[in-house]
């Protein structure tokens, strides 16, 4: 990992931690830290942060959705599917999660179709 990017992430987490004082805020900080990592395409770091949220709050639809996106970016499609399904089970009315999951399934179908056509 690029040392400059890591330094920025660590400083961001320190700043977010400084502003917070309770567990729920720490979970929010981990979610936001993961988002910052993802924006810099540091997917392993983002996954690490979102897994921490899921460990402390298994019913965080946002963390499961974010994990799904990260797994999808890394080509870990089965893991992505499981996380999308979990996020949808937790928050079935969430249009953002539903949209992400639909795009994932569409991309997966297109990929499978292309692979089938090559045969």
Q: The CATH number of the domain where 97 resides is what?
A: 1.25.40.10
The pLDDT score that the predictor gives to residue 27 is 81
The answer to whether residues 30 and 3 belong to one domain is yes
Domain membership of residue 93 as a residue range: 58-119
21 CB burial (10 A radius; 0-12, 13-18, 19+):
exposed
Domains in the chain: how many in total?
2
Q: Given this model, what pLDDT does residue 16 score?
A: 47
Task: Check whether residue 70 and residue 34 sit in a common domain.
Answer: no
- What's the pLDDT at 25? 74
- The list of the chain residues with pLDDT below 70 reads 1-24, 119
**pTM of model > 0.95:** no
Q: Residue 111: CA atoms inside 13 Å, Cβ hemisphere, count?
A: 9
Same domain, yes or no: 83 and 48 = no
Same domain, 3 and 50: yes
């Amino acid at each position: 990992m690029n040392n400059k990017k890591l330094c920025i992430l660590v400083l961001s987490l320190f700043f977010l931690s400084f502003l917070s004082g309770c567990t729920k805020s720490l979970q929010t900080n981990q979610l936001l830290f993961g988002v910052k990592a993802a924006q810099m395409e540091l997917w392993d770091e983002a996954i690490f942060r979102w897994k921490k949220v899921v460990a402390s709050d298994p019913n965080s639809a946002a963390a499961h959705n974010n994990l799904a996106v990260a797994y999808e970016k890394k080509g870990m499609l089965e893991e992505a599917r499981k996380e999308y399904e979990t996020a949808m089970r937790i928050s079935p009315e969430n249009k953002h999660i539903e949209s992400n999951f639909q795009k994932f399934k569409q991309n997966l179908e297109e990929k499978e179709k292309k692979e089938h056509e090559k045969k």
